[in-house]
Structure 1
Amino acid sequence: MPTVDLVQVTRAQIPVVSAWPVTGWKGHYRWLAASHGYNARIVRPGDRIDLVIWDSQLNSLLTSEAEKAVRMDGLEVSSGGAIFVPYINTVKISGLTPDQARRRIQTRLQPVVPSAQVQLNMSAGVGNSVDLVSGVGAPGSYPMPNQNFSVLGLIAKGGGISDALRNPLVRLIRGSKTFEIRADTLFASADKNTRLVGGDKVIVTEDERSFMAIGASGKEDLIYFPKDHVTALEAVSLMGGLLDARADPKGLLVLREYPLEAVRSDGSGPTHPHVIFSFDLTTADGLFAARNFEINPNDTVLATEAPAVQTRAALALFGAVLGANNAIQAATN
């Protein structure tokens, strides 16, 4: 019994095989659409607040006669979003802009210290910072200047994507979820420049998806995907084309391995895990089929040799064997 499916791909079969499970990756990148937030910074738990409270009245509860201002530095916003201020207890300021937080504290102080004036400075904590992990000139933790701080803004602050990266990929980790997008797609579409959230981690790395090119082509090597999707015809181009003197254009093969759970007997998937897709590039039907057939990561694309080349190789081998036999006979006579 056969253990491998051999599929001669035609235009009529493209909708069928395209519906089979994608191998090697999810088949698409998952990303977040761009959104808009406040242009101002927002106080979050973990931020640090420096307060200066001015009070000019005599016998002030907060200041002395020599010093008309009191400083309270390094007040950390609690997990509940509040800070402690003497005489007015805790004040919830999370979710406010720094100016709104200043006014709230000053309003709360008025019954106790009617003439008090408040200055407030905020330093971003974890809740208002994002991490740029790798793939740029200056990785590190960056405070968010406002709630519209975007992925491209963060990459720019980090010095841009390193020129040493091949086919760069941008990965965003938010909580327990991971999102990915190719850098060229991110740069080309304004609606992909998503707004960051405090605690986000951005990693710039290389797109590791690849296929193996072997046989009678201009290049036998591991070839990395230059874009999201690569067709069989594009794969031939990436392989350096078919060698005129060696390749059989009727025998372009794509070797693919499916997981066992993808095997089907009803035609909705391969009937065996190992499948060989075959293309005849000498016909219009075969060319258009190759143009619409997508290569999956970890596929092997094989440019087979023409029958004449195989025949010449067999004759050369036969001639070598015959010559060796003649030499042996001559030596023994």
Structure 2
Amino acid sequence: MFYLTSRWVKPLVLTAAVLSLAGCGLPRSGPNKQEINAGADETFGNSFVVPVDHQTAQQIARAPTGGFSSAFLNAGEVGSDTIRPGDTLGLTIWENVETGVLGTRGVPSVLDQVQVDGAGMIFVPYAGRVRASGNTPDALRRIITEKLDEQTPDPQVMVTRLAGDGATVSIVGGVGAQGVYPIERPTRTLAAMIAQAGGIQIEPEITKIRVLRGAQSGTIWLEDLYSNPALDIALRANDRVLIEADTRSFTALGATGAQNRVAFESQDLSAIEAIAQVGGLSSNIADPTGIFVFRDETAQATNAVLNRTDLQGPQRVAYVLDLTQPNGVFLARDFMIRDEDTIYVTEAPFVQWNKTIGALTGSLSSADAINSVVN
């Protein structure tokens, strides 16, 4: 029969206690790397663990969607003084004859409050119905002059807009002064109109500009507006411009400096930047080989990274980054975070061991204290 000496009893009891405690539910921030890997089914189901390499980072790289359609980009500038239905005009006419059809020499005939009707027409005595809509006041002056010249020699005509500001644009959101602004000569383009409204009042790095034109809409980043002159589109009557902050966010969990829902701080956000936003990895407990990015991925992207063709519909993918690899930090810099991603940093394996030892030694100390009281 085998007998244990007292020299081996305490170590074996300690080991048994550690194993027993390890099997119990000691507190921790979440599953470890091995549990996540074991829980993913790479053959059936729709959950996959994908180690990130250079090819993977390039395959799933995708810039935030947005931009203007060709209808926005190809629209020419409109004249700030174009006449439109509903405008009210004033006509002043001088004639060069003693007795003219409208008045006498040197005394102008004033036609006040001439309303442009719904068809864009006005009525001028002896000239008849004249199309005013779509013309500038100067162009309309020439048209009326030509028509009156048949009735009275060399008439002089002046056209002014008395009411109606022509084309206007409404600007709301993060600007200095929200309101309705006329399209004037200096403010015929998007950037100029934003400046007219007091400029941007939110962080430029996360500012998005949405332009609504009838049933069409387009969204761009403020930074792109000033880096790409082609995006400084010409405005149209009744355009609506909304200036808003980026609403994208990600969630950080596990062994990070902070566990929270975090807003994007730039147009493009890499994994390394996202980790830095939440205070980096916890140096005491984080496992740098187990940084997971959980994402609802498209079937197309998942097929590409897994080299498959059979997957259909949304897939749940856990991309794993290993910062201990020679190019690990570079890959984390190349891997782009998307809206609604969850970044989870696992605990290092020794952390659970330390918790177990701590729980055990704490329990033994409590037992010794009780024993002392009893004795």
TM tier relative to shorter chain: 0.7 to 0.9
Distance 1:69 1:183, change over 3 A: same
Q: Could you tell which deviates more after superposition, 264-273 or 247-256?
A: 264-273
Partner of 1:131: 170
Aligned residue pairs total: 326
| Aligned with 2:57 (options 6, 10, 14) | 14
Partner of 1:244: 283
Q: Distance between the aligned counterparts of 1:97 and 1:175, measured in 2?
A: 24
Distance 1:285 1:67, change over 3 A: same
1:7 is aligned with what amino acid?
A: V
Q: Distance between the aligned counterparts of 1:65 and 1:33, measured in 2?
A: 51
CA contact under 8 A between 1:5 and 1:270: conserved in structure 2? no
1:274 is aligned with what amino acid?
A: R
Partner of 2:191: 152
Query: Within the alignment, does 1:254 sit opposite 2:296 as a pair?
Result: no
Query: Within the alignment, does 1:30 sit opposite 2:73 as a pair?
Result: no
CA contact under 8 A between 1:262 and 1:273: conserved in structure 2? no
- Measured against aligned partners, the alpha-carbon deviations of 1:11-70 in whole angstroms (never above 9, x if no partner) come to 23334444xxx7xxx832213548753676433444443322334645544348996321
CA contact under 8 A between 2:113 and 2:162: conserved in structure 1? no
Q: Distance between the aligned counterparts of 1:296 and 1:270, measured in 2?
A: 21
Distance 1:296 1:160, change over 3 A: same
3-state SS of paired residue (2:211): strand
Query: Within the alignment, does 1:185 sit opposite 2:228 as a pair?
Result: no
CA drift of 1:220 comes to 3.1
Partner of 1:310: 352
Partner of 1:276: 318
Partner of 2:91: 51
TM-score normalised by length of structure 1: 0.82
Percent identity of paired positions between Structure 1 and Structure 2: 30
CA drift of 1:172 comes to 0.9
Q: Distance between the aligned counterparts of 1:194 and 1:281, measured in 2?
A: 44
3-state SS of paired residue (1:227): coil
3-state SS of paired residue (2:209): strand
Q: Distance between the aligned counterparts of 2:358 and 2:90, measured in 1?
A: 86
Distance 1:244 1:182, change over 3 A: same
Partner of 2:28: none
Superposed, which structure 2 residues align to 1:294-333 within 5 Å? Answer: 294-327=336-369
Q: Could you tell which deviates more after superposition, 275-284 or 8-17?
A: 8-17
CA drift of 1:154 comes to 0.6
CA contact under 8 A between 2:78 and 2:234: conserved in structure 1? no
3-state SS of paired residue (1:294): coil
Distance 1:116 1:66, change over 3 A: closer
- Measured against aligned partners, the alpha-carbon deviations of 1:262-321 in whole angstroms (never above 9, x if no partner) come to 886944768863221111011134333322222110111122222223322333233444
CA drift of 1:165 comes to 8.0
Query: Within the alignment, does 1:110 sit opposite 2:149 as a pair?
Result: yes
Q: Could you tell which deviates more after superposition, 219-228 or 128-137?
A: 219-228
Q: Distance between the aligned counterparts of 2:175 and 2:212, measured in 1?
A: 17
Q: Distance between the aligned counterparts of 2:93 and 2:323, measured in 1?
A: 80
- Measured against aligned partners, the alpha-carbon deviations of 1:86-113 in whole angstroms (never above 9, x if no partner) come to 3333212333332112111221222234
Partner of 2:35: none
Hey, which of these two has a bigger chunk of helix by percent?
2
Q: Could you tell which deviates more after superposition, 39-48 or 212-221?
A: 39-48
TM-score normalised by length of structure 2: 0.74
CA drift of 1:153 comes to 0.9
CA drift of 1:173 comes to 0.8
Partner of 1:290: 332
CA RMSD of aligned residues (A): 3.5
Distance 1:39 1:324, change over 3 A: same
Structure 1, unpaired ranges of 5+: none
3-state SS of paired residue (2:185): coil
1:73 is aligned with what amino acid?
A: Q
Q: Distance between the aligned counterparts of 2:163 and 2:238, measured in 1?
A: 11
